[in-house]
Structure 1
Amino acid sequence: MPFIEESDLLELHKDIDKAQIINERLLDQIKIKNKELKRSKVQRNVLAVITGLFLVGTFGITTYTAGLSTSNSLENRNNLLVSIDSLEAHKARIDNLRKQNEELSLVKEFYLAKSFLDKETIYSVQVKSFVDNNVTLASEALTNTLFVKTNPFYSYSLGNFETLQEAQKFRKQLVNLGFNDAFVASYKDGKRLQIEDPY
């Protein structure tokens, strides 16, 4: 075996001690770094969990709020649609009532005119007479139509004229249209008075 001098051995021990001290310091530094890494890893994990929880909470709140606003928005839209529908229904009803009012005022005017005409002598052009009561021939559109029972016939006359000349002129137009048997008659109180001169 080789021989080592004591001074070399002491130097070697010193070097070993120094190396051991350096190793212990390095181990202490590694332990400190490991603790720091563990701490930063734990902090990172805690921060990640907190961030995740915050994001999930924010997403949940946003979704819940959006759901409420959507449901409120849908309710508002439904209420608005109901309001618009009911508004349209009211408008349609008002239009319908206006139309009925116009029709009633026309009917009222017709009956006022008819009651006036019943009291006055009027002239009309008789176009047809039937044995049977054939009311289907009387048109609702022809407001100046007279339907009078002259025993034993039912007669249909067109036009309500104040003067005999107006009725004669209208009779001439009807004859030109093909009503060759048309004649002028005078009426009062809804009854025929007499057959007038056609010319």
Structure 2
Amino acid sequence: MPFIEESDLLELHKDIDKAQIINERLLDQIKYKNKEIKRNKIQRNVLAGVTGLFLIGALAITSFSAGVSSSTSFENRNNLLVSIDSLEAIKYRMDNLKRKNEELSEVKEFYLAKSFLEKETIYSVQIKSFVDNNLTLTSEALANTMLVKTNPFYSYSLGNFESLAEARSFRYQLVKMGFADAFVASYQDGKRIKIEEPY
């Protein structure tokens, strides 16, 4: 079996950890944006309700004052101008809400795509299989390693990748280090689905 320097393996795992940290930060941002979407949706609904009540109240007051008052036409024109100004302000608010809603929809679509990927297949590079569970290969300093039971063997794999291309690139690096038997396998829900083509 080829020998890999622990420093090289640790360096590879550091790269994987960096990618995982970036993914976790993105997930945190998505969760924050999701909360913001919910909060803005509630605000939008409340504002729509208040705006509706305001419009109904303004129309009722205008109708009441037009029907009851026997004022001159000059006073009626002033009432009409006030109503038009209020309608312009409401229209401006509604346009702002529409623009915010479009931005939030884009964030929501990104979040849904990310959660879909979490349920999808991941790829890992298997470097060895054992009949017995050989825990001496695992180290607490290493992350993104998998020890999967595939009857009757225990498979030891390195890396967790979302795309097959990333896993193949990592496999190529391991082959250059001397792990000629390394291969990419796809996993879903912690179970191996199949062995992927090397290229």
Q: TM-score range by the shorter chain?
A: 0.3 to 0.5
Greater gyration radius: 1
**Relative contact order higher in (CA < 8 Å, ≥ 6 apart):** 2
TM-score scaled by length of structure 1: 0.41
